[in-house]
Amino acid sequence: MSSFTDLFWLFVLGAGIGAWYKLTRAREIAARAATGLCKRHGLQLLDQSVGLRAIRLQGVDGGRRLERCYGFDVSHDGTSRHAARLWMAGNEIASFSLPLSGAPELETVVATDPGVYGGNVVSLADRRRLN
């Protein structure tokens, strides 16, 4: 009977290590994505790190997917510090929020096609003007 208990605890330990590895890998991908966003938008990524802030189920195309929110700090000039957010679905950017230039308010940008991220981003401000 003791061998089943040992096997159960070994399985729990393995699952915990696997989950830790997967979350660590996702955080590394989010850090690279945040670095790329900052370079693209002329911002400086402060502390060179991101932190997991939230997890949510997001409805997409009649189904649900798990999205992780990572928070990080950016600066326009190297002296100010503003909060920014990055939502990841799997290894892809689902949306992000960066401070407007010269103002601490966040402007959220949503990737319209999560499979292909590049110039295919629509600002919510632009989206509202179109509708």
Count CB neighbours of 12 within 10 A: 10
Please state the pTM of the whole predicted model: 0.68
pLDDT in tens, 20-62: 998 889 899 999 999 998 888 888 888 888 999 998 888 777 8
- Say if CB 107 and CB 100 are below 8 A apart: yes
For residue 99, the enclosing domain spans: 2-130
Structurally, the chain folds into a number of domains equal to: 1
What count of other Cβ atoms lies within 10 Å of the Cβ of residue 43? 20
